[in-house]
């Protein structure tokens, strides 16, 4: 069955444009509440990032859930992975995240977590959508859901993050720049690294409701790169607006992306005999990651793009580590979903244990030049891959690349974009080929 509202990463769009409206959120809260209340009294936790619209949607969801007879725990601004963790900690039936992740402030969205802290099964999402078609009713006054705020949520999550590394790990002597993207980790990430001994300089930690992800964070690392070099720091850590992505910067100011970070963590676990299987990447993962893992004797498989598909493969194979180039990294033995802070701690642990710099650790993976161009879709219903001009161009390009590279066209699951990616053994060549293909896509559209 096709879903009307839920995409690959929840429900997302522009604030004020259906379905990202207060009335929809009221009905969504009620519908979700009715579904989760079918097995008796339910309790749902709600957290959000720092977008100005989060307060409006929090109130609407709270009202809908209460009308369905569901109790609500309000966390306030918290990272997405923290909400997944606290859903389990408080023994809730579900968790709700109000966030549009790495998108600009004028977008927002809703993500759900199951009681295990994982993405909802398709069957539950279908059930919620079916409930949306029903007339909204309110339970008897005595059965209305109650709401309360959790004042120590941040402290609980800080201790959880610190507990994902051994108690004797010390970051003393490391000078780190942390970019919180003016998002949900602003009051958490710097404290985690400081309490473990690092010297921390903060940027992107002054949210005002509008500056989330604006020229900062995991999707825009120029400021972090500049700051690391200017302050002669050992490295930089960039999180996105909701804290589930991680990109790092080495002491030279060079970006270290999700593929390279995945490789570093995989090698560290492999060397200690703790990897317990292979690594899951995606269709977008750099071919250099696959080659580097293969040389180390580590199995590697590609899932569809999207952290939920990476997690599905990890669960199916009972492996522990997977992620995306964009910085969604899942350390399944530590957290139920992608967690930027937890992943950063794994990289920092590898640096401390090996006494190597971030630059040295990433250099062990030979990254293949890759260019990706986003082409905007004005009509999301168009199947770009079915257009004859695009199909012909892709076939011609694949013939040109041969075994020297690969090409991938993929509609974004979160934005009205088509991602055009070309990978090969020569950077300038790849960039030119990618631009040519992107031009063909634009013309065909």
Q: Which residues are catalytic?
A: 101
Q: Return the closest-CA partner of residue 326 out of 421, 258, 242, 256.
A: 258
Q: Give the Cα-Cα-Cα angle 318, 319, 325 (nearest 5 degrees).
A: 135
- Three-class SS of the chain: CCCCCCECCEEEEECCCCCCCHHHHHHHHHHHHHHHHHHCCCEEEEEECCCCHHHHHHHHHHHHHHHCCCEEEEEEECCHHHHHHHHHHCCCCEEEEECCCCCCCCEEEEEEEECCCCECCHHHHHHHHHHHCCCCCCCCHHHCCCEEECCCHHHHHHHHHHCCCCCCCCCCCCEEEEECCCCCCCCCHHHHHHHCCCEEEEECCCCCCCCCCCCCCCCCCHHHHHHHHHCCCCEEEEECCCCCCEEEEECCCCEECHHHHHHHHHHHHHHCCCCCCCEEEECCCCHHHHHHHHHCCCCEEEECCCHHHHHHHHHHHCCCEEECCCCCEEECCCCCCCCHHHHHHHHHHHHHHHCCCHHHHHHCCCCCCEEEEEEECCCCCCCHHHCHHHHHHHHHHHHHHHHHEEEEEEECCCCCEEEEEEEECCHHHHHHHHHHHHHHHHHHC
Cα–Cα distance, 236 to 227 (Å, whole number):
8
Q: Is the peptide bond before 19 cis (omega within 30 degrees of 0)?
A: yes
């Amino acid at each position: 069955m096709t879903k009307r509202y839920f995409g690959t990463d929840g429900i997302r769009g522009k604030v004020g444009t259906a379905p990202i409206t207060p009335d929809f959120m009221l009905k969504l809260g009620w519908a979700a509440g009715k579904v989760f209340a079918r097995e008796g009294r339910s309790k749902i936790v709600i957290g959000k990032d720092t977008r100005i619209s989060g307060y409006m949607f929090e109130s609407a969801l709270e009202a809908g859930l209460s009308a369905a007879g569901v109790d609500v725990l309000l966390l306030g601004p918290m990272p997405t992975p923290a909400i997944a963790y606290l859903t389990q900690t408080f023994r809730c039936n579900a968790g709700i995240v109000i966030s549009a992740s790495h998108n600009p402030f004028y977008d927002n969205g809703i993500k759900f977590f199951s009681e295990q802290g994982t993405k909802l099964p398709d069957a539950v999402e279908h059930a919620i959508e079916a409930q949306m078609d029903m007339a909204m009713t309110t339970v008897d006054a005595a059965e209305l859901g109650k709401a309360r705020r959790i004042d120590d949520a941040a402290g609980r999550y800080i201790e959880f993050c610190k507990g994902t590394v051994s108690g004797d790990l010390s970051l003393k002597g490391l000078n780190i720049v942390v970019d919180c993207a003016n998002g949900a980790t602003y009051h958490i990430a710097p404290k985690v690294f400081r309490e473990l001994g690092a010297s921390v300089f903060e940027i992107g930690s002054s949210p005002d409701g509008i500056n989330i992800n604006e020229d900062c964070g995991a999707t825009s690392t120029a400021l972090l790169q500049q700051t690391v070099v200017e302050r002669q720091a050992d490295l930089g850590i960039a999180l996105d607006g909701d804290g589930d992505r991680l990109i790092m910067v080495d002491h030279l100011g060079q970006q270290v992306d999700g593929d390279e970070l995945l490789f570093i963590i995989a090698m560290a676990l492999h060397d200690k005999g703790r990897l317990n299987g292979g690594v899951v990447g995606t269709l977008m993962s750099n071919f250099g990651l696959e080659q580097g893992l293969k040389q180390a004797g580590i199995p590697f498989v590609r899932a569809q793009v999207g952290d939920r598909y990476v997690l599905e493969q990890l669960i199916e194979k009972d492996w522990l580590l997977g992620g995306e180039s964009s910085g969604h990294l899942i350390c399944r033995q530590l957290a139920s979903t992608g967690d930027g802070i937890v992943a950063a701690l794994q990289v920092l642990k590898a640096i401390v244990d090996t006494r190597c710099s971030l630059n040295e650790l990433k250099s062990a993976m030979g990254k293949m030049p890759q260019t990706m161009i986003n082409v905007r879709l004005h009509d999301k219903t168009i199947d770009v891959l079915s257009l004859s001009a695009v199909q012909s161009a892709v076939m011609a390009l694949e013939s040109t690349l041969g075994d020297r590279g690969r090409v991938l066209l993929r509609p974004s699951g979160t934005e009205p974009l088509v991602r055009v990616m070309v990978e090969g053994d020569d950077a300038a060549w790849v960039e030119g080929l990618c631009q040519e293909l992107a031009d063909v896509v634009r013309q065909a559209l």
